[in-house]
A and B are shown apart, each in its own frame.
Chain A
């Protein structure tokens, strides 16, 4: 008998099972993890002899990897104002940071100036407000843009933001050719998750192509797209879904640029990627290894010859979704594990989340710990000394190969749908991610997936720490004043002329939007004006939120407390003559809708009538829907800190319309500190992140008994 057979017998005996297969674990990706891998598993694996820096790059994009120079520590940050952000960047650069990464506020993402009536609750939230090149110049004051690489997370308003960056550099005396950095510019994933788009898919893609074309010609050191899977993972995608849709997006961009007449090798070396790093340690390492192999194959098929075109270079960020509000210092440990997965997977740069990000924007302390996590990995351990340390592991090599195969199946589905654009229009990726997300949440709620401090090992001890508060009112006032100054000190005729050229472009599709926007920005056109010039003919895109149902039904089929909730719903129905009816609303410019969709799906399964609202609604619009639909409750989901402005406003409007019997509750990323403020404003219930659906159901029903 072979050693393996002997082990199988011994293991089966110890596990007290007849079949060793019972010890297998089926991951959400659909990959089977076995308790033991052996040399047998390496047989016939195609890339087992590959080398770092050589095709297909499984073991790393560069020959020396971290043994020469470790990954870049790149912490994404944006404070409300250009001044604060600038001070932060300069300090970070003094402290040894090599590049800066800009987070914009939501109105900027969505192409609105700060003084637009729809966005007053969102200005300066979740990032810096940029309305004109004057803001951009302050943002980069005393930062030499020919030396410091700038990464900008921007997808919706890419054109005005790129133009403002280029003009700010120009007025600093730096030519575009010398600029280095990355613009996210990955609009496809916005249509799948996150929703920070402005225009419909086709027109948005035209802008992506304009940027690829412009940078290929004028900005050779600038990465024109960062193809992102991160947001898919945050929205609940497992690693295979994240990989498949990110690579399919990438493929679509390459085809798009080729259709513009560019040759693959002209722009492909400037494409970069961005993945999320969650807690499934082995899988995440395998994900980066698999991604490189798959990209190299895809690019070879698309005609790339330059090896640099076939190399997948990536930035990684630890998972925000894995962070918990409860027992928050645990998050430091989670982030460390995730960071290690990124490092073992061979990332080129890394952002580590701060432990308080489940409830607020990071404070100075939490940011420092986050950054130090990476510095400790780089400098206190010997992790960087060995390239691809998991290479050759029986398990890791098999897992990488299994994940490659699983991803190919999903990519095939996209191909059969008629390509990624068509698949997105059909809602295929969105639906698959939402299903994965609702299943994951249901597993956590049921206690099948463990989260320490949340559904197991809970503590009553309160952890207190400082939370960054954003003074939205002052930020808004300053932005509005600065906009006024810009508008009164410019040659309006010139501005109109430039905007007219952009309008013509939108109608005819001829020319390059970025080149035209640069002229407009020089003349001091604002971000909102440039966006509207295109919006006039293209319109503003509105996705249709939908929701799945039936997932909680299945998962909680025989659960006594779930049954009890459903009985209470029936009692409610008898008493009130109808089911409890709830309007789930997203207020303001925040497009994160993972949470609200899971809640919608869970409440409908519990027997509620659930009304969905359009994304990006104002309190007025939500009040109108709540009244017409005559709901019992409005549930507001807030992910981006606008709750302190918009929720009280909603309650006030309902009151003036004599509808204060409609109860308002909220959930999402809401710090404990804000609870009493919201309660005073009249909010009936507040749910922190990852509140279990059955609890939400119970507490809502309590309100009516």
Chain B
């Protein structure tokens, strides 16, 4: 891979940005060194954006919501980058990335950049490179970054630590009762969007909206923000402007209260920790997977030692 031309990246050339993201995602050690070098420059640029994540269960209408919001923003002169994360098959390691198919119009806009990335679930502590990709998009002049994650679970907690606003998309058709929703995920949300407020599902969307408003209490948020709950239709583009207004309000709220700066700093702490664990993992992985060590493990297990004891012995011998 040729090295990345920083000027072209800053000029917002899509090809350069795309290749820069590939570089930071690469697992090749040479690329990783180049990537560190590149990121050093990027950090110094001190560019910023409004970072938003949109999460929700499969079928909640995340992609179409991003398409609607993205088109709205693009029409108002904003530059929008969308980063989507697709699950990787645990068997073959391959992925099928189909997000752009659901953001067909936004995908063709010259003011939008959409990059789907496979999760590449490696074993252990390795994290994906969404944070780095966000910085690269900012360097390329995108002022709104939207991160889409698939499914509700572990990834949401990770993504929460990468963005300024966490939007949870909820489908009225999903039959998700509030009790059924994972409580922890609801508490992450800075804004809840009930999707598909149109056609046949309109009345169900209204009911869902009502239910959520009635029963959700966000009293224990330390920042005093009350997450708004609203119904939107990506199909008819209704509620999209309201959604954006609320997001902006939240952003200004965070700026004026100082939480934006504080959160971003906290996020960097976590980022640093993640990288720490990752280097620990990378350093010890070859040692533990070494064939003599493997044989040793097997031998100990056969001699009736239990896995806990085995781990202790191995840890001691490796860390010395």
Q: Which of A545-590 contact B (CB under 8 A)?
A: 545-547, 549-550, 553, 566, 569, 573-579
Can you identify 8 A-B contacts, CB atoms within 8 angstroms?
Answer: A566-B92, A579-B93, A579-B118, A601-B96, A603-B94, A607-B93, A612-B100, A629-B115
Please indicate the chain B residues that have their CB under 8 angstroms from the CB of A550 in the complex. 89, 91
Question: A628 contacts which of B92, B95, B104, B114 (Cβ < 8 Å)?
Answer: B114
Please indicate the chain A residues that have their CB under 8 angstroms from the CB of B93 in the complex. 569, 573, 579, 607
A630 in contact with B18 (CB, 8 Å): yes
- Binding site of B, secondary structure by majority: helix, strand, loop or mixed? mixed
The verdict on A614 contacting B104 (CB below 8 Å), with A577-B27, A629-B116 known, is yes
Q: Which of A296-318 contact B (CB under 8 A)?
A: none
Say yes or no for B22: interface residue by CB 8 A criterion. Answer: yes
B115 in contact with A606 (CB, 8 Å): no
Mark the stretch among A455-463, A508-516, A619-627 that contacts chain B: A619-627
Interface residue total, chain B, C-beta cutoff 8 A: 35
The verdict on A549 contacting B96 (CB below 8 Å), with A542-B104, A604-B89 known, is yes
Select from chain B the residue with minimum beta-carbon distance to A657. Answer: B15
The verdict on A614 contacting B101 (CB below 8 Å), with A550-B89, A577-B27, A630-B21 known, is yes
The verdict on A624 contacting B98 (CB below 8 Å), with A604-B89, A630-B22 known, is no
Say yes or no for A47: interface residue by CB 8 A criterion. Answer: no
A326 to B56, CA, bound (A): 48
B101 in contact with A606 (CB, 8 Å): no
Q: Give me the 6 closest cross-chain CB pairs, A-B, nearest first.
A: A577-B26, A577-B28, A604-B94, A630-B18, A612-B98, A614-B104
Tell me the A residues contacting B by CB distance below 8 Å: 202, 542, 544-547, 549-550, 553, 566, 569, 573-579, 600-601, 603-614, 620-621, 624-625, 627-630, 657-659
In the complex, number of A-B residue pairs with CB atoms less than 8 Å apart: 117
Select from chain A the residue with minimum beta-carbon distance to B113. Answer: A628
Which interface residue of A550, A606, A612 has the most chain B CB atoms within 10 A?
Answer: A612
Q: What is the distance, in angstroms, from A661's C-beta to the closest C-beta of chain B? A: 9
Which interface residue of A545, A628, A658 has the most chain B CB atoms within 10 A?
Answer: A628
The verdict on A573 contacting B116 (CB below 8 Å), with A579-B94, A612-B98 known, is no
Q: What is the distance, in angstroms, from A387's C-beta to the closest C-beta of chain B? A: 48
Say yes or no for B25: interface residue by CB 8 A criterion. Answer: yes
The verdict on A553 contacting B14 (CB below 8 Å), with A544-B102, A575-B28, A630-B22 known, is no
0 or 1 for each of B113-152: is its CB under 8 Å from A? (1 = yes)? 1111010100000000000000000000000000000000
Q: What is the distance, in angstroms, from A463's C-beta to the closest C-beta of chain B? A: 37
A657 to B16, CA, bound (A): 11
Q: A553-B91, A609-B95, A629-B100 are in contact. List 12 more A-B contacts (CB 8 A).
A: A545-B101, A549-B92, A578-B25, A601-B96, A605-B91, A606-B92, A606-B94, A609-B94, A611-B98, A614-B100, A628-B18, A630-B21
A609 to B108, CA, bound (A): 22
Say yes or no for B78: interface residue by CB 8 A criterion. Answer: no
Say yes or no for B204: interface residue by CB 8 A criterion. Answer: no
Please indicate the chain B residues that have their CB under 8 angstroms from the CB of A621 in the complex. 107-108
A612 to B27, CA, bound (A): 24
Please indicate the chain B residues that have their CB under 8 angstroms from the CB of A610 in the complex. 94-97
Q: Which of B51-97 contact A (CB under 8 A)?
A: 89, 91-97
A544 to B102, CA, bound (A): 6
Select from chain A the residue with minimum beta-carbon distance to B89. Answer: A549
Please indicate the chain A residues that have their CB under 8 angstroms from the CB of B26 in the complex. 576-578
B91 in contact with A600 (CB, 8 Å): no
A605 to B89, CA, bound (A): 8
A670 to B191, CA, bound (A): 51
Q: What is the distance, in angstroms, from A430's C-beta to the closest C-beta of chain B? A: 14
Please indicate the chain B residues that have their CB under 8 angstroms from the CB of A611 in the complex. 97-98, 100, 116
A575 to B91, CA, bound (A): 21
Q: What is the distance, in angstroms, from B272's C-beta to the closest C-beta of chain A? A: 23
Q: What is the distance, in angstroms, from A635's C-beta to the closest C-beta of chain B? A: 13
A604 to B86, CA, bound (A): 13
